[in-house]
Amino acid sequence: MSTDSTGLPPTPGQTVGPFFGYALPFDGGADLVPRSHPAAIRLHGTVYDGAGEPVPDALIELWQADEHGRVAQVQGSRARDCWTFTGFGRTPVDDTGHYSFTTVRPGATAGVQTPFFAVTVFARGLLHRLVTRAYLSLEDAVAAGDPVLTSVPEDRRHTLVAGEDADGYVFDIRLQGTDETVFLDFGEA
Amino acid sequence: MTQTSEPLSSGPDSASASQSAIDAEMAAISTAYDASLRQGGRAETQPRLDYAPYRSSLLRHPTKDLHHADPEGVELFAPVFGHRDVGRLESDLTIQDGGEPVGERMVVTGRVLDGEGRPVRRQLVEIWQANSAGRYIHKRDQHPAPIDPHFTGVGRMLTDDEGRYRFTTIKPGPYPWRNHRNAWRPAHIHFSLFGTDFTQRLVTQMYFPGDPLFALDPIYQAIVDPAARARLVATYDHDVTQHEWATGYTWDIVLTGSRRTPMEEETA
């Protein structure tokens, strides 16, 4: 699919900078469901730079379908009422580069075999936002013939797959270096 | 790119390079880009992720090409924001904290459009900025300029049916940062926007016309195409300026095209 050649040129991105801290994070931003939710799981990980050091000033956004594969389209994605699942989360990393969301396991959306979390990464030093996917299981996704995972070279596929721990999933993000995360381009520019 | 004069052991954020060294690096990248255009290369509409004059990008840019994907499932949609997400007074940054902030009061307005020129309606626009002295209210901002007790520098609102947004605020000041010796950022306002698809998500910065710091700033110059970076500069608009009250600026924002098959909602 090519972009419309008669279209308007997009506004360029710029870094989120280090001082987003009092503007973008909001109460409950990391909690897509309350921890007491019967299906609550944790999705968490650490953002690393090319030297393997944690990035302490990144911001992560999460966007996902609910357990049944439904994409919420109700207003109030930034509001938190503890009842409505909006599928949107946003959290800064802590001083050790670690982020953590409380959420549910996404289901597969209509027409898509393999469920995934859609993840956006912002940070000082990162001149334009990066987007990626966190899949839940490599074997299932490849078995399902997921078009993105199967098109990624085999030795990099694991960077798109969240590991499992006792509470849910672990998805580390490596901006550079060995095991650099596969970041996606939707052909938008 | 050569790094010969800057031992890496001094660290990418050591602020040791001179402005003239940074200028020379930026000029070399610009010259190479011009040459590639002359040879039929593509214009670049987004900043380079690997822009070495911006030292913080050295260890944080992906070294491998982004992997092409067609958006599917949840990616064909975006979060939906509404009046539950935004307080009515949050678009006026001059009334948030019990007194008048210091500085040049101004109105910033414009439209949010998608790549086909359609208004992006009822979408969340978030902004944040330094005060008129160039200081953010943030524990990591150590610039010794005054904190304005009446200015938090945070605003948000929803676009209207024409995709229009409108903020009242104070013109931010330029401020020093530690990219290199005597580095100063041009005055700017940060913007965060979503659009209707996950793929349209954008965080960017709006600048002011005629800023003498543009040519010196490696964040602005990381958009190597001059026409593309000019799209981040607002226009002074006397029709937006208000009699004895505020100056006015206009700035339109274009998100990428929607990738979703058009639905009835868009034909209404």
Residue B261 has what pLDDT?
Answer: 67
Express each pLDDT in A129-140 by its tens digit: 999 999 998 888
Report the percentage of chain B scoring pLDDT > 70.
Answer: 92
Express each pLDDT in B111-122 by its tens digit: 999 999 999 999
Q: A64 pLDDT exceeds 60?
A: yes
Residue A137 has what pLDDT?
Answer: 86
Express each pLDDT in A13-26 by its tens digit: 999 999 999 899 99
Contacts of A79 in chain B (CB under 8 A): 84-85
Q: B64 and A180 in contact by Cβ < 8 A? A: yes
Catalytic position from the list B51, B55, B105, B136 = B136
ipTM above 0.90, yes or no: yes
pLDDT class of A152 with cuts at 50, 70, 90: very high
CB interface of B with A, residues 41-60, below 8 Å = 45-49, 51, 54-60
pLDDT class of A4 with cuts at 50, 70, 90: very low
Q: B80 and A77 in contact by Cβ < 8 A? A: yes
What's the whole-number mean pLDDT along residues B125-134? 97
Collapsing DSSP to helix, strand or coil, B90 comes out as: helix
What's the whole-number mean pLDDT along residues A8-12? 96
Residue B259 has what pLDDT?
Answer: 75
Q: A3 pLDDT exceeds 70?
A: no
Residue B4 has what pLDDT?
Answer: 39
Which string of DSSP letters, residue by residue, matches A91-131? EE--TTSEEEEEE-PPPPPTT-SS-EEEEEEEETT-SS-EE
Catalytic position from the list B51, B185, B220, B249 = B185
Q: B79 and A78 in contact by Cβ < 8 A? A: yes
A162-185: burial string, b at 16+ Cβ within 10 Å, e else: beeeeebbebbbbbbeeebbbbbe
Indicate the range of A157-166, A168-177, B6-15, B57-66 predicted with least confidence.
B6-15
Residue B13 has what pLDDT?
Answer: 54
Query: Mean pLDDT for chain B?
Result: 91
Q: Indicate the class that CATH gives domain A40-174.
A: mainly beta
| CB contacts < 8 A (A, B) | 257
User: Any catalytic annotation for residue B136?
Assistant: yes
pTM for this predicted structure: 0.94
**How far away is chain B from the Cα of A162, in angstroms, using its nearest Cα?**
18
Q: B8 pLDDT exceeds 50?
A: no
Q: A76 and B85 in contact by Cβ < 8 A? A: yes
Residue B266 has what pLDDT?
Answer: 46
Residue B141 has what pLDDT?
Answer: 78
- Could you tell me where the DSSP H helices lie in A25-183? 138-143, 147-151
User: Any catalytic annotation for residue B188?
Assistant: yes
C-alpha pair distances (Å), A72 with each of A33, A76, A126, B15, B97: 13, 10, 29, 46, 35
Residue B267 has what pLDDT?
Answer: 42
Closest Cα in chain A to B188: A14
Distance, in Å, from the CA atom of B189 to the CA atom of B110, rounded to the nearest integer, reads: 14
pLDDT class of A160 with cuts at 50, 70, 90: very high
Residue B138 has what pLDDT?
Answer: 79
**How far away is chain B from the Cα of A60, in angstroms, using its nearest Cα?**
12
Express each pLDDT in B153-188 by its tens digit: 999 999 999 999 999 999 999 999 999 999 999 999
Residue B14 has what pLDDT?
Answer: 66
Q: B190 pLDDT exceeds 90?
A: yes
Residue B262 has what pLDDT?
Answer: 59
Distance of CA B30 to the CA centre of its chain: 21
